[in-house]
């Protein structure tokens, strides 16, 4: 009888060789015979491609066609002839193994859920009764006895064989009672019984646990049981505690929920529960001699691979250690200096100790190969006496010192464990218990740190204890932190390690549910594996990433934050890996990290965080060559050599050149140079690292160096290489010229030309042809041809042209024409052709006066007036003509005053006067007019003309000077002063020229009119200020309400939109339409950008930037009113003088009230909400603090926005009031 996995159906096999299918309520559904002639619904289809005799038979040859079918052998004698049923994990199919009544051999048939035959297996001689379908559904496991071996075979659901592996037993030594897959299909348990009883008459039983990796089956555990009866059996997790030999099991089954938990029921009515966990046995050394060994258990062999020397894919290995019995566990020595020694515990409680083979690297005479490491050699074999303990009585073994082992076994009671300190006996054949201590609870893991000699014990409930083992007796104390508080894992962890964080030692654990704990703090979830090495924590996650964090640079909170972040674009701690990758080991003092994929193959990666950390150490210690090699292999940008510490690099350039010692490598470094600082863009230091000393900027990197980074590096390297060996580093020197910000191609070409004219005699020197070919590799040939032409060296031009793809018919006529010209005119023609007009002007100016018209045309066309004036003497006619042309150019550009100065200094007085008048430079104009000795009438006419222009520009005081002193018209001068409200100056001229009549006719009416105008203006400004202030209060209240509504809804992302500071940057939800349209407009044209900018200061009610516009308007009113102090004071004085006290008093009172109104309201208008200061304090909430910090992170506002948000300053120190009016 067998139930389906979903417990909905049950199948029964009867003695009449039939199958009965029933429901869970035992209601029959159908009954079919077991033995059917038909193959089943999955019968193979033959397409009829020829006969068997004519088909290809591979290595067997044509004799295979005539081979007769082998005779079918009946089942073995001990077979119970009973049918066996096994279901697939999804309950859709089940397999049945039964003995055929015709042949006597077993056959496997596959049926579906409706009890319809699907397939029948092929004839398999020696097929045994054991049968188990893999829960994942891919294979059916059974056993087969061959003439020379005993195998576990696998069948597909169509009945065909699909792989096998051989059991490590003799042919007739044992029989297989059952095969059992665990719930996740990772482990296959083989239950064996000896065919013959032993010397004591008891039949021994053995349970083997097999798992597969990379298509190889590994025997991981072997449990041996005797047949003795036990009255005092006990149920213990992990081992059997019995005073006599371990009784053999009568029932074996896997736990349905916990995949690696196995339950056994023995003949002594005792229940045993074994719990395993996956672990990677790796060496724990921190020194350079650690080979990064990883051991894999495979039956009675230990497969060891030294990953520091080579990466060998499984199932192969570097070394294979043969043990006398199946191995139960492996432990590496934790003592410093012996990281490659290991010990293997066999299932018969023998401990085999292997030590690293002696001998250094040796070379083979035949092939030249050398041995870089030697296999471990068997040093000792100890027997561990535990006093009749059952299988896995010693369930944990840790090698802590050369002659000291820690072991864990069961205590006297079910809830106890014993920790044993084992040391070799005097005869050296056994391990004796030197000391022991009882621990309340089941110890499930032991972890030892070679650095601190700390031993960590973990109990099954996650409790942590520290084992004190260096004294005379073992003792345990609870694990505590630096504050003395106990520390425990919240959940039991399968993998544990010890690490140091911020100088304190912490336990690190990973649960079977992928939670990673540092003490009692959860660092991350979804973690699949981790390793601690060289102060780095490396872990892989279920999101297919590998994280690498430097422990000594983080706190506990920093680790949680770093592992919780998604990582930015250039986050060096994060790397994507293949799905399902797990960490095998990491090579000490290296960057190699070994990962294993789900299918079993290995992959070596160099994590970027490890690479960069190693590079920073090498650069700090000035190991430039080693750093350069690592950067080349790992494709790190070579700019990091300089950017890591510019000052140190520039001070040790000679060391860099000598260490690299390769022209090609130096050229590679030079060609990768760019202005970008890679320590800020590509390789920023980890966010949570302690702040390192900031590297000096390029301008202060070394004495005497200034400019851009590329230029500094090129110049420094070139100087150093020229001092060391200019012949050897010739190509590097050329690269320094070409790579500069402004390439010095002409200088590089000159050096190539020198190599042709004066070739170097040293063996390391390069020839001109090679140097030119290298330059053409760096620079486009057309560009190089152009620059060679600019050297005016036709030999060099021809040398470059010959290397190009140019047709000689293109450049030879042009070069011949140039050779026929006068040298200066020749260079002028070349410079004009190359559009180097400044140089062309210099050479053309040397060609003589007959070419001056060409000079003038070139100056006008290319606007080279300044350069041209510097080429001629100030008293020359060419200088005068150029000055005139320059003056015309300045007048066209609206700079008439400067044009007049040029004309004045070269003696062109008439044109200078005209220019000064056009520019309203009246003082210069009158000075020129006096120098020209103009008649008085013309001088007066000139003064009136200038005065009219000044009046148009509201320069009343200057116009009055012209009218009074040069036009001799005092009345017009006084009128101009009255118009310009210059009351005091107007009174002076009135009394100077005795024109008191003007006081009554012009001055007093103007005073009253000015009073009326000022009074109306002040009233309008007062009303406008009050209206804007009231509207601003309303707008702020509305936005505060909207902000509170958003906070109540939990949306804090746009809280900053409802403040004056941030409304400049982005609109609220009601105004998001305007923000988006503005962003689109800003990308079109400057005109539209100005239009969009103007919308920010729109006072239209409801606009998204209304609050900012109101602040801008209030700022403008404040500045306008404040600037009136001097003007109001002058008007008050004039009104008092002419006894207009009432008007003066009213004006002073109104102006004073307006100033007081503005000054008193400035603190209320420009509040703290208009600044970006974070709001913190006892009255702050989490939402308000978040919103204020979001505002602080906003980008900077424009200049006009900043002025509007800044409170205006009033000029309170200016005294404008008249005390006679108070």
pLDDT surpassing 50 at residue 525: yes
Phi-psi region for residue 560, left (φ > 0), alpha (ψ -120 to 50) or beta?
alpha
H or E segment and range at residue 1182: helix 1182-1192
pLDDT of residue 85: 94
Measured distance CA(5)–CA(482) in Å, rounded: 52
Q: Which of the pair, 1024 or 368, is modelled with greater confidence?
A: 1024
Quick: pLDDT tens for 998-1056: 888 998 999 999 999 999 999 999 999 999 999 999 988 888 888 888 777 654 444 33
Quick: pLDDT tens for 858-890: 999 998 989 988 988 888 888 889 998 998 999
Quick: pLDDT tens for 729-769: 999 999 999 999 999 988 898 888 888 888 877 788 888 88
H helix intervals, 238-379 = none
H or E segment and range at residue 467: strand 464-468
Quick: pLDDT tens for 49-104: 655 556 666 666 656 556 655 677 888 888 888 999 999 999 999 999 999 888 88
Q: In angstroms, what CA-CA distances link 293 with 319, 398, 510, 548, 984?
A: 10, 16, 22, 21, 102
Measured distance CA(489)–CA(444) in Å, rounded: 13
Q: Is the peptide bond before 315 cis (omega within 30 degrees of 0)?
A: yes
pLDDT surpassing 90 at residue 268: no
Q: In angstroms, what CA-CA distances link 71 with 30, 281, 512, 1189?
A: 35, 48, 51, 86
What integer is the mean pLDDT of 537-542? 95
Of 1035, 1168, 1169, 1164, the closest CA to residue 1099 belongs to 1035
Measured distance CA(13)–CA(31) in Å, rounded: 10
What integer is the mean pLDDT of 672-693? 77
Measured distance CA(118)–CA(97) in Å, rounded: 14
Measured distance CA(592)–CA(611) in Å, rounded: 9
Share of the chain above pLDDT 70, in %: 86
Quick: pLDDT tens for 824-866: 888 888 888 888 899 989 988 888 888 889 989 999 999 898 9
* List of long-range contacts for 821-826, beta carbons under 8 Å, 24+ apart: 822/847, 825/851, 826/792
What pLDDT band is residue 715 in, cutting at 50, 70 and 90? very high
- Six-digit token pair at 835? 């559009």
pTM of the model: 0.72
- Six-digit token pair at 725? 């060996």
Q: Which of the pair, 475 or 358, is modelled with greater confidence?
A: 475
DSSP state of 480: B
- Six-digit token pair at 237? 């997790």
Q: What are phi and psi of 165, to 5 degrees?
A: -145, 155
- Number of Cβ within 10 Å of residue 73's Cβ equals 15
- 3 state SS for 668-734: HHHHCCCCCCCCCCCCCCCCCCCCCCCCCCHHHCCCCCCCCHHHHHHHHHHHHHHHHCCCCCHHHHH
pLDDT of residue 461: 92
pLDDT of residue 202: 75
Whether 586 contacts 574, CB under 8 Å? no
* List of long-range contacts for 225-231, beta carbons under 8 Å, 24+ apart: 225/249, 225/266, 225/390, 225/391, 226/200, 226/202, 227/197, 227/202, 227/203, 227/267, 228/202, 229/267, 229/268, 230/266, 230/267, 230/268, 230/270, 231/268
- Six-digit token pair at 527? 């973690």
Measured distance CA(1073)–CA(1) in Å, rounded: 73
Measured distance CA(669)–CA(889) in Å, rounded: 50
Beta strands in 24-74 (DSSP E): 28-33
Q: In what order do the strands lie in the sheet with 84-87?
A: 84-87, 93-99, 106-112, 117-120
The string of DSSP letters for 1096-1119 reads: TT---TT-TTHHHHHHHHHHHHHH
What pLDDT band is residue 107 in, cutting at 50, 70 and 90? very high
- 3 state SS for 501-558: ECCEEEEEEECCCCEEEECCEEEEECEEEEEEECCEEEEEECCCEEEEEEHHHCCHHH
Name the residue with tokens 């006619």: 877
Measured distance CA(1024)–CA(1078) in Å, rounded: 29
Name the residue with tokens 């030879």: 812
pLDDT of residue 283: 92
Quick: pLDDT tens for 386-409: 766 678 889 999 999 988 999 999
- Six-digit token pair at 602? 């290995």
Per-residue burial over 544-569, b if 16 or more Cβ lie within 10 Å, else e, is: ebbbbbbbebbebebbbebbeeeeee
What integer is the mean pLDDT of 917-936? 90
What pLDDT band is residue 180 in, cutting at 50, 70 and 90? very high
Instruction: Specify which residues 530 forms β-bridges with.
Output: 539
- Six-digit token pair at 684? 């920023």
What pLDDT band is residue 276 in, cutting at 50, 70 and 90? very high
Name the residue with tokens 């001109």: 768
206: helix, strand or coil: strand
What integer is the mean pLDDT of 467-488? 91
Measured distance CA(419)–CA(438) in Å, rounded: 6
Measured distance CA(1188)–CA(1181) in Å, rounded: 11
pLDDT of residue 1046: 78
- 3 state SS for 392-410: CCCCEEEEEECCEEEEEEE
């Amino acid at each position: 009888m067998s139930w389906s996995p979903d417990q909905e159906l049950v199948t029964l096999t009867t003695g009449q060789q039939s199958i009965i299918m029933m429901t869970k309520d035992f209601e029959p559904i159908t009954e079919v015979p077991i033995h059917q002639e038909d193959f089943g619904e999955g019968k193979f289809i033959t397409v009829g491609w020829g006969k068997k005799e004519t088909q290809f038979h591979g290595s067997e040859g044509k004799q295979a066609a005539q081979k007769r079918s082998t005779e079918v052998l009946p089942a073995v004698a001990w077979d119970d002839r009973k049918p066996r049923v096994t279901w697939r994990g999804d309950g859709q199919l089940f397999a049945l193994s039964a003995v055929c009544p015709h042949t006597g051999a077993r056959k496997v048939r596959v049926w579906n859920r409706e009890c319809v035959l699907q397939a029948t297996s092929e004839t398999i001689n020696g097929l045994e009764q054991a049968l188990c379908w893999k829960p994942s559904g891919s294979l059916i496991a059974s056993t087969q006895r061959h003439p020379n071996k005993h195998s576990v075979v696998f069948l597909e659901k169509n009945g065909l064989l699909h792989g096998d592996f051989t059991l490590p037993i003799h042919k007739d030594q044992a029989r297989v009672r059952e095969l059992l897959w665990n719930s996740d299909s990772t482990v296959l348990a083989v239950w064996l019984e000896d065919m013959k009883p032993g010397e004591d008459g008891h039949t021994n039983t053995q349970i083997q646990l097999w798992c597969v990796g990379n298509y190889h089956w590994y025997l991981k555990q072997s449990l041996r049981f005797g047949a003795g009866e036990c009255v005092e059996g006990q149920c213990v997790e992990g081992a059997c505690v019995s005073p006599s030999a371990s009784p053999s099991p009568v029932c074996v089954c896997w736990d349905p929920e916990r995949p690696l938990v196995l339950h056994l029921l023995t003949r002594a009515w005792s229940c045993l529960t074994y719990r395993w966990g996956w672990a990677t046995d790796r060496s724990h050394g921190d020194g350079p001699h650690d080979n990064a060994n990883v051991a894999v258990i495979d039956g009675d062999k230990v497969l060891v691979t030294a990953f520091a020397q080579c990466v060998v894919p499984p199932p192969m290995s570097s070394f294979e250690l043969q043990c006398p019995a199946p191995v139960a566990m492996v432990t590496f020595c934790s003592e410093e200096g012996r990281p490659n020694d290991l010990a293997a515990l066999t299932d018969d409680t023998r401990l085999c100790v292997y030590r690293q083979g002696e001998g250094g690297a040796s070379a083979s005479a035949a092939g030249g190969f050398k041995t870089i490491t030697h296999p471990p050699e068997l040093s000792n074999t100890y027997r561990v006496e535990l006093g009749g303990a059952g299988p896995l009585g010693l369930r944990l073994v840790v090698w802590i010192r050369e002659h000291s082992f820690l072991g864990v076994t069961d205590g006297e009671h079910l809830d106890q464990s014993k920790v044993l300190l084992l040391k070799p006996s005097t005869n050296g054949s056994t391990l004796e218990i030197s000391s022991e201590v009882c621990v309340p609870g089941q110890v499930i893991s032991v972890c030892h740190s070679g650095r601190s000699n700390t031993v960590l014990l973990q109990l099954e409930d996650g409790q942590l204890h520290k084992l004190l083992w260096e004294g005379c007796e073992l003792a345990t104390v609870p694990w505590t932190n630096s504050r003395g508080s106990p520390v425990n894992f919240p959940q039991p962890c399968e993998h544990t390690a010890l690490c140091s964080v911020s100088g304190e030692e912490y336990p690190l654990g990973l649960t079977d549910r992928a939670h990673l704990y540092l003490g009692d703090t959860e660092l991350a979830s979804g973690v699949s594996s981790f390793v601690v090495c060289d102060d780095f924590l490396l872990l892989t996650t279920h999101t297919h990433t590998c994280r690498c964090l430097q422990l000594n640079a983080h706190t506990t909170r920093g680790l949680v934050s770093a592992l919780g972040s998604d990582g930015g674009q250039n986050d060096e701690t994060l790397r994507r890996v293949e799905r399902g990758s797990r960490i095998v080991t990491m090579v000490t003092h290296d960057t190699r990290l070994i990962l294993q994929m789900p299918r079993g193959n290995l992959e070596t990666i160099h994590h970027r965080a490890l690479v960069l950390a190693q590079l920073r150490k090498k650069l700090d210690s000035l190991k430039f060559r080693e750093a350069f090699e690592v950067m080349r292999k790992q494709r790190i940008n070579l700019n990091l050599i300089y950017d890591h510490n510019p000052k140190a690099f520039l001070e040790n350039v000679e060391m860099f050149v000598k260490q690299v010692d390769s022209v090609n490598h130096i050229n590679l470094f030079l060609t990768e140079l760019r202005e970008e600082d890679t320590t800020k863009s590509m390789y920023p230091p980890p966010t949570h690292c302690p702040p390192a000393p900031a590297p000096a900027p390029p301008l202060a990197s070394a004495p005497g160096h200034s400019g851009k980074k590329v230029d500094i590096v090129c110049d420094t390297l070139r100087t150093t290489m020229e001092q060391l060996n200019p012949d050897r580093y010739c190509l590097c020197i050329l690269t320094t010229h070409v790579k500069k910000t402004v390439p010095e191609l002409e200088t590089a070409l000159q050096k190539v030309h020198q190599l042709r004219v004066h070739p170097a005699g040293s063996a390391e020197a390069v020839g001109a042809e090679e140097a030119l070919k290298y330059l053409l590799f760096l620079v486009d040939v057309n560009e190089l041809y152009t620059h060679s032409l600019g050297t005016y060296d036709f030999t060099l031009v021809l040398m470059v042209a010959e290397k190009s793809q140019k047709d000689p018919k293109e450049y030879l006529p042009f070069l011949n024409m140039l050779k026929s010209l006068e040298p200066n005119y020749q260079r002028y023609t070349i410079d004009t052709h190359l559009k180097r007009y400044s140089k062309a002007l210099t050479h053309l100016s040397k060609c003589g006066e007959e070419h001056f018209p060409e000079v003038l045309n070139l100056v006008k066309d290319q606007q080279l007036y300044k350069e041209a004036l510097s080429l001629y003497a100030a008293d020359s006619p060419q200088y005068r003509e150029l000055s005139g042309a320059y003056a015309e150019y300045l007048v066209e550009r609206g700079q008439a005053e400067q044009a007049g100065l040029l004309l004045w200094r070269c003696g062109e007085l008439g044109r200078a006067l005209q220019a000064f008048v056009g520019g309203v430079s009246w003082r210069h104009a009158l000075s020129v007019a006096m120098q020209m000795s103009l008649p008085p009438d013309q001088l007066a006419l000139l003064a009136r003309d200038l005065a009219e222009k000044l009046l148009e520009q509201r320069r009343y005081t200057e116009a009055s000077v012209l009218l009074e002193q040069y036009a001799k018209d005092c009345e017009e001068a006084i009128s101009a002063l009255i118009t310009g409200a210059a009351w005091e100056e107007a009174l002076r001229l009135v009394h100077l020229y005795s024109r008191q009549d003007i006081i009554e006719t012009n001055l007093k009416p103007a005073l009253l009119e000015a009073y009326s105008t000022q009074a109306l203006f002040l009233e309008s400004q007062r009303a406008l200020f009050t209206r804007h202030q009231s509207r601003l209060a309303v707008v702020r209240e509305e936005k505060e309400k909207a902000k509170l509504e958003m906070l109540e809804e939990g949306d804090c992302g746009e809280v900053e939109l409802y403040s004056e500071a941030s409304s400049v940057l982005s609109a609220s939800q009601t105004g998001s339409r305007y923000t988006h349209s503005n962003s689109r407009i800003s990308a079109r044209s400057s005109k539209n950008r100005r239009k969009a900018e103007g919308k920010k200061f729109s006072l239209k009610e409801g606009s998204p930037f209304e609050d900012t516009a109101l602040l801008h308007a209030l700022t403008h009113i404040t500045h306008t009113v404040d600037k009136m102090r001097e003007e109001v004071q002058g008007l008050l004085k004039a009104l008092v003088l002419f006894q207009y006290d009432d008007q003066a008093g009213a004006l002073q009172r109104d102006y004073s009230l307006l100033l007081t109104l503005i000054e008193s309201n400035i603190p209320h208008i420009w509040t703290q909400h208009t600044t970006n200061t974070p709001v913190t304090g006892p009255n702050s909430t989490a939402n308000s603090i978040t919103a204020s910090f979001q505002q602080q992170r906003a980008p900077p506002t424009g200049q006009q926005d900043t002025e509007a948000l800044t409170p205006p300053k009033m000029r309170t120190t200016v005294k404008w009031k008249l005390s006679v009016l108070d």
